[in-house]
């Protein structure tokens, strides 16, 4: 395991200097799930939530969040994001599955942007449905794929 890159020799938090890195196409995909009562998922799928189209609003929230990652995570670099996709789907009778993919051409990866998109999408689903189901759970937030850069490709489910 390599040393943590966000600390200097004295243990101070630092932003990593990426100026010497090559610009490459970089992509990352993150996933999350929101587990809820079956009747809550049925309401979402039917489009009858009082706050509106849950999937559409959550998708937009995730896209917007990816673009704000460097303002939320202190040591993240602001990146010129080329694309963000956020997919939401019913999984079984009680789960919303979320997949967020972010792409850029730059000197550092977009894993944090993908994680931010997936997490804010999940939190938006919760926010839009909490009046009918306060017991919802956000689970399984993780990076499932990344490509580009010196460290190469990474995949997991």
Question: Bigger pLDDT: 127 or 8?
Answer: 127
58-62, 73-77, 90-94, 116-120: range with lowest mean pLDDT: 73-77
Cα 116 from Cα 88, distance rounded (Å): 15
Q: Which residue among the candidates 8, 17, 87, 127 is catalytic per the annotation?
A: 127
5-9, 22-26, 39-43, 66-70: range with lowest mean pLDDT: 5-9
Judged against a pLDDT cut of 50, whether residue 157 lies above it is answered with: yes
What pTM was estimated for this model as a whole? 0.93
Residues 102/66, Cβ–Cβ less than 8 Å: yes
Judged against a pLDDT cut of 90, whether residue 11 lies above it is answered with: no
Cα 133 from Cα 36, distance rounded (Å): 7
Predicted pLDDT of residue 2: 54
Question: How sure is the predictor about 19, in pLDDT bands with cuts at 50, 70 and 90?
Answer: confident
Phi, psi of 145 (to 5 degrees): -160, 145
Is 127 an active-site residue? yes
């Amino acid at each position: 395991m390599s040393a943590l890159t966000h600390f200097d020799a004295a243990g101070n938090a630092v932003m990593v200097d990426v100026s010497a890195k090559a610009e490459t196409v970089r992509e990352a995909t993150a996933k999350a799930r929101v587990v809820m009562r079956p009747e809550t998922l049925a309401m979402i799928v039917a489009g009858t939530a009082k706050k509106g189209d849950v999937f559409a609003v959550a998708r937009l929230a995730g896209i917007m969040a990816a673009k704000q990652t460097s303002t939320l995570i202190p040591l993240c670099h602001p990146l010129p994001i080329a694309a963000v996709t956020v997919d939401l789907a019913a999984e079984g009778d009680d789960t919303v599955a979320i997949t967020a993919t972010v792409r850029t051409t730059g000197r550092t990866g977009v894993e944090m942007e993908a994680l931010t998109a997936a997490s804010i999408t999940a939190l938006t689903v919760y926010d839009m449905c909490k009046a009918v189901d306060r017991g919802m759970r956000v689970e399984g937030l993780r990076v499932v794929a990344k490509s580009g850069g010196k460290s190469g490709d990474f995949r997991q489910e």
